[in-house]
Every structure is written in structure tokens, then in C-alpha cells.
């Protein structure tokens, strides 16, 4: 009988841990009832309890939400299919619409591309373009690198995140993991590790693929991890970039670009009281116009916001500004 009681207590304890881990509402550590030596685990009827160990809940430092969270400070509901505003200080979801709806992410994919590259490789590593950098998809943003061209991973990440070059994304994938397929496997492994369970990547650039999908909440999880890297934050905050790389023949070739982020380029006005640190844009026919941002208020409190599937650049930034104004 004692064994049965202890097993029931164990089940209850584990259930409590799982609930708290998923809600993200509990701070600090949680007592962990599970132990392979704990009474009852192997029908051990020893009445002496072992020391209690602790686990950190998975969602302790994350904003956790339902599929939709309304906000009365957003009078004009974004007309897009999915959007979200996440307060990184309070770990609170201030607004979200269709958080878990699978959608095409376009070049917001490149946030994960940069994240895997930063985790798996040294930024001084020299990359060499293969013939696979030749991309013929109509409208695809290209740096126009050629087979045999070389540049450092640091240079490639700047061009990837600021100019959103799809050919450079392939160059990074092959340089870091040996092939696009192997790199995409790492992207999907990282997505699962972050809890991005509605995400599946088939390429490193976000060009349209039927099964290449993610969702607003998963993009928050991925971007939230990426901003832990100083270089990532530095790159997304830059308004322009110039560099020199080498062609297959060894000659120098200059490359200059501005940031595709309309707030940083000055194309669109930042909402009062908000400082846009940086972000990533994305546009394809299937995905529409997309944007994810890292911003701060006047007190320095950080936020992540995302808008997906806007029908135009103007409506994208209108909806994004509408979200950011809800901070106050």
C-alpha cells in the first residue's frame, strides 16, 4: 500500500511540474520529485526520502500565450493573418493573433539561418560559394555572388540579415554544415530545442516551399534566442554596410547595401517613445510582407513584435506601428 501511495504522489508531482513548466508563470526553480532512486520507482519500499532536487521550468523566461490574446490598447485589430507583441521584461504576451497558425515565413527564415551559423561556426571562417548559389526564382533578392567567390562568415551574416540575400544564405548553409540538407536538419533540430513545434524548414533562405512553414509564436521563440548574440544585435541595428570580398580569380569585389528594415532606413517613422533596435524583413508571393522587430521603450524595456502576411509594405508598417503603440 505504501508503494502505491508513493507512486501516486510521484505522478501528481510530475504533473504539477509539467503544468508549471508550460505556463511559464512560475519564477525560479521547481522541486523535482523524479529520481531513479526515489522510493517507489523500482517498487522500493524504503521509507526514507532522498534529498529533493530542483529543475528550471522550460518556459520560465518565455512569454506564453493562447492562440489569441486581445489588447484594448490596439483599437485597430491588425488586418493581417498573424501578429504578436511580447514583453521580454514581464514575460507577458501583450497581444497575439493566430499565434500557432502555420504560415510561410519568407526571409524571416534567415533569423534561424543566422542563429545556427552563430552556434555552429566561427565568424572568421572562410566560406566559398558553390554552383548552388545560382538562384533563378523570379524576384529573389540576390547579392549576385558567383561560384568560387569567398568571404568570411562575418561578412556573409551582414549581407544575409541586412540585404536578405538568398544566394548568401545557401553559401552559409553549405559552408557551416557541408550541404543545404544538413544545415536544414540543424535548423529543425534547433527549432525543436526551442519549443518551436509548428516549424519546419526546407531551405535556409525562405524561398517558397510547400512544407517550409512556421508561425508567429515560433518566430518569437527563434528571434528571442537570436538576440542573445551580440553580433546578431549589432548587425540588425546597422543602417548600412560595405565590405570587400574576393572572386574565384582572387580579385577584390566591393559590396554595399542598406538595411531592408523600413524603420532603420527612414522610410517609415518609428512610433513615439519606441526605439527600434533592429529586425528582419521578408517578402514573397506566398508569405506576403513580413517583419519581426526587437524594440525598447523609454525605460529600456525590450519587446519583440511580429507581423505576418501583410498585403503591402505600407500596411505592414502601419500594423507594426499599431502594435508598438500598445506598449504605452
Q: Is the pLDDT at 245 greater than 50, yes or no? A: yes
pLDDT given for residue 29 in this prediction? 53
Residue 136's contacts (CB-CB under 8 Å, 6 or more residues apart) are: none
pLDDT given for residue 294 in this prediction? 98
pLDDT given for residue 77 in this prediction? 66
Cβ atoms of residues 295 and 278 within 8 Å:
no
247-260 pLDDT tens trace: 999 999 999 999 99
303-326 pLDDT tens trace: 999 999 999 999 999 999 999 999
pLDDT given for residue 218 in this prediction? 98
Name the strands in the sheet holding 288-296, side by side, starting at the edge strand that comes first in the sequence. Answer: 92-97, 82-87, 302-310, 288-296, 275-284
Partners of 151 in beta bridges: 127
226-238 pLDDT tens trace: 999 999 999 999 9
**Domain coordinates of the chain in residue numbers?**
2-55, 82-325
Q: Is the pLDDT at 4 greater than 70, yes or no? A: no
Residue 285's contacts (CB-CB under 8 Å, 6 or more residues apart) are: 139, 208
pLDDT given for residue 71 in this prediction? 81
Q: Is the pLDDT at 36 greater than 50, yes or no? A: no
Q: Is the pLDDT at 47 greater than 80, yes or no? A: no
φ, ψ (nearest 5 deg) of residue 185: -60, -40
pTM of the model: 0.83
pLDDT given for residue 63 in this prediction? 86
Region 29-47: mean pLDDT is 45
Measured CA to CA, the distance from residue 35 to residue 279 in angstroms comes to: 43
Residue 98's pLDDT band, with cuts at 50, 70 and 90, is very high
Q: Is the pLDDT at 157 greater than 90, yes or no? A: yes
Residue 76's pLDDT band, with cuts at 50, 70 and 90, is low
Out of 62-76, 121-135, 138-152, 186-200, pick the least confident.
Answer: 62-76
Q: Is the pLDDT at 116 greater than 80, yes or no? A: yes
Partners of 279 in beta bridges: 293
Strands 82-87 vs 302-310: parallel, antiparallel or unpaired = antiparallel
Out of 17-31, 206-220, 286-300, pick the least confident.
Answer: 17-31
Region 143-167: mean pLDDT is 98
End-to-end CA distance of the chain: 58
106: left (phi over 0), alpha (psi -120 to 50) or beta: left
Region 88-102: mean pLDDT is 94
Partners of 290 in beta bridges: 282
DSSP labels, 130-172? -GGG----TT-------TT-EEEHHHHHHIIIII--HHHHHHH
Residue 81's pLDDT band, with cuts at 50, 70 and 90, is confident
Residue 140's pLDDT band, with cuts at 50, 70 and 90, is very high
Residue 308's contacts (CB-CB under 8 Å, 6 or more residues apart) are: 80, 81, 82, 83, 103, 105, 108, 216, 219, 287, 288, 290
Cell numbers standing for residue 234: 549589432
pLDDT given for residue 75 in this prediction? 60
What value does the mean pLDDT of the chain take? 86
pLDDT given for residue 205 in this prediction? 98
Q: Is the pLDDT at 28 greater than 80, yes or no? A: no
Region 127-145: mean pLDDT is 95
Q: Is the pLDDT at 10 greater than 70, yes or no? A: no
Fold of the CATH domain 82-325: Beta-lactamase (3.40.710)
Amino acid at each position: 500500500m505504501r508503494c502505491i501511495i508513493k507512486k501516486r504522489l510521484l505522478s501528481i508531482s510530475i504533473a504539477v511540474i509539467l503544468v508549471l513548466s508550460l505556463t511559464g508563470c512560475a519564477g525560479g526553480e521547481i522541486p523535482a520529485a523524479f529520481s531513479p532512486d526515489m522510493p517507489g520507482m523500482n517498487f522500493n519500499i524504503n521509507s526514507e526520502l532522498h534529498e529533493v532536487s530542483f529543475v528550471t521550468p522550460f518556459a520560465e523566461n518565455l512569454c506564453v500565450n493562447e492562440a489569441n490574446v486581445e489588447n484594448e490598447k490596439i483599437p485597430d485589430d491588425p488586418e493581417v493573418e498573424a501578429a504578436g507583441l511580447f514583453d521580454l521584461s514581464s514575460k507577458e504576451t501583450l497581444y497575439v493573433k493566430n499565434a500557432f497558425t502555420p504560415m510561410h515565413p519568407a526571409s524571416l527564415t534567415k533569423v534561424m539561418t543566422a542563429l545556427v551559423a552563430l552556434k555552429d561556426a566561427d565568424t572568421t571562417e572562410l566560406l566559398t560559394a558553390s554552383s548552388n548559389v545560382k538562384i533563378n526564382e523570379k524576384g529573389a533578392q540576390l547579392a549576385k555572388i558567383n561560384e568560387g567567390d569567398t568571404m568570411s562568415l562575418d561578412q556573409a551574416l551582414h549581407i544575409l540579415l541586412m540585404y536578405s540575400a538568398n544566394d548568401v544564405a545557401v553559401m552559409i548553409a553549405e559552408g557551416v554544415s557541408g550541404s543545404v540538407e544538413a544545415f536544414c536538419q540543424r535548423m529543425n533540430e534547433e527549432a525543436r530545442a526551442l519549443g518551436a513545434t509548428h516549424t519546419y524548414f526546407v531551405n535556409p533562405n525562405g524561398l517558397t516551399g510547400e512544407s517550409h512553414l512556421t508561425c508567429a509564436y515560433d518566430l518569437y521563440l527563434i528571434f528571442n534566442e537570436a538576440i542573445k548574440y551580440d553580433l546578431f544585435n549589432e548587425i540588425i541595428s546597422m543602417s548600412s554596410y560595405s565590405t570587400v570580398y574576393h572572386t574565384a580569380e582572387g580579385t577584390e569585389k566591393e559590396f554595399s547595401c542598406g538595411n531592408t528594415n523600413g524603420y532603420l532606413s527612414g522610410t517609415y517613422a518609428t512610433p513615439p517613445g519606441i526605439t527600434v533596435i533592429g529586425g528582419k524583413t521578408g517578402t514573397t508571393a506566398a508569405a506576403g510582407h513580413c517583419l519581426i522587430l526587437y524594440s525598447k521603450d523609454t525605460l529600456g524595456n525590450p519587446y519583440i513584435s511580429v507581423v505576418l502576411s501583410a498585403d503591402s509594405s505600407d500596411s505592414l508598417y502601419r500594423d507594426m506601428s499599431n502594435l508598438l503603440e500598445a506598449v504605452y
